[in-house]
Structure 1
Amino acid sequence: MVTVQTKPEAPSKTFIACSRCKTRKRRCDGNTPKCSNCAVQKDNGNLDLPNATDFTARPEDEEQPQSVSLGAFAVNIGDSESSSSLNFPPSKERLPIFPDFLLPGTFDRNLAAFKAQLKEATAQRTFYPLIPLHISRRLIDNSFADVMVEHPFISLACFMTLLEAQYATSTVGPAEDASRWALVNAVLALAIRFKTAVGSESDISPVTESFYQNSVMVVRQLILQDPNLVSVQALLAMAVFSRGLPDPQAFILLTTNASRHLEILSRCRFVGNFTSPVIYDGDQFEQVYEVSNRLSEEASLIMQRQMYEPTSTGIL
């Protein structure tokens, strides 16, 4: 008998599937061509043993874990020389979704401290202090568009300029600019009232009223001084706020004086005699004029209704 010695078969190569094949629960073998994804990735399908993980075959009926390619979600982190796929602004530049001053406990302490300052100012009969600037900025950023949606008597850019100037000058008084002081306080009062949650009016109302009273304390000066665009805007802001008060007399008084000041400014604008450089903003002037007309019409309707109703006593 002749014994035929067969040549031992060479061990088959071990192949690794591309990410797409593994996702479809398939494995590459040496008999089938590479899939298109392997060809694109220039992967020859050979398993790199030093870097290989365990690819022990499992029964076909057993569920195999799916792997997802991270190529589509790659973000270079820690490599200063390579460009990142996603660029995030530095944490210091990002506006926090929930600021620190609104955190539970912190807000209550700040509110109690500010109310104590309001009581002290009331006892001394002085102007009420403004809230910290970073809170005012956040408040205006989140509410200005809603406050001005019905009566847009000033733009955000113009108001922020006045707000920053007021804080830079004084946070406890007009500092020789009653128009700016009244406008800043009236708009802040509108913003706080808009952002006050239902059920917390009694807690927040002292703060809202303090800003409105800051404007009221200079209203006589606004009415008697030479008119300028900021003084008209301040009167309109106070008028819009007073629409939410039970007594309509304040709204009528403020709207009427705003209209009178605007007529004087219109004549100055026609002859080119301006008392304030702000008046050169023609678009803003026309916007203020439209708002004043609408509020004047509303005040006229209120006065017509009052002809058939008992008169009230309060004004501001």
Structure 2
Amino acid sequence: MTKALVFGTGAVGSVYGWFLEKAGVTVTAVCRSNYNQVKQNGLLIRSKKWGRNISKPIAVPSVAAAKPYGPFDYILVCSKAFPDTHTLIKEAVTPGSAIVLAQNGIGIEEAYAKAYPQNSIISGVVYLPVVQVELGVVEHGTPLERFEVGTYPASASPPSKAQAEHFAELWEAGGATCHVYDDIQGQRWSKLALNATLNPICALTLCDDANFLRSSEDAFQMACDVMREVGRVAQAYGYNTITDESIKEHMKRHQERMDTGGKAPSMLQDVEHGRPIEVEAILGNAVRLAQGVKIDVPYLRLLYALAKGLNFSIIRDGAWRPIATVQ
């Protein structure tokens, strides 16, 4: 029996664990704020594509509590891609565990590869517009769902390639869509073009995607310009997946929502709930990669600086100082 651990059972993790559950995998889910609800009632998934469903993973409050249910063939990381996330799964990783990253951003895999050099790293690109509307309740509002995966590095061993293929077979057996790529980085860059644009823009403006596009005559073109900037960096690293046609396809979904109702990207959802945002994975790494090939990225640098400021106002760590007052 295949065993999987889902780390980060928010909106995406809830649905992804359900896919594996339907494929006959024994799924253990690390839950935080929704632990009591999932433990008692399971996860309610309401989807325009699959209807109303209940997922019943083994709910645990921590990775340490998950260990008795292992060893795990797959560890599916669905949490936010923060710099230290790779350290949080350490107790669950055993020889033979494949680590599957269902996370946004670029350049996120190296930390896992260094921390777990004997384990397969499967990098995944998520297309799944979902939101946890209340604890233990997830809504999937559009039929879009696709998971694109590939080993890291692309030159990984045949056994690692086989683990990626087997994972995709499980995904398809669960009724979902999974494509395996020999080199997944082209798909990562393509998704980054979208994430590095509308994620920070929506978070900074407090507009959902459709309302941002409604907000001014310049909004649409500005979004496309940021995507083209990401494309120039990707091209310098040998990936030509960001084209005018792909940008048009990305933006088409957001334009259509101007008629059907907008969507709040994950950064905006985090800001609305006072949670930290994925600044480094989505923007910082892209800016540093651009600097590495001496490409000027003024839009990305501006969004990075502003998003760091926004995140600083949320976390207010020891460096934060209150506004001075006159005595």
TM-score range, shorter-chain basis? under 0.3
Q: Greater strand percent: which structure?
A: 2
Q: Greater helix percent: which structure?
A: 1
Which protein, 1 or 2, shows the higher relative CO under an 8 Å CA cutoff with sep ≥ 6?
Answer: 2
* Structure with max Cα Rg: 1
TM-score by length of 1: 0.25
TM-score by length of 2: 0.24
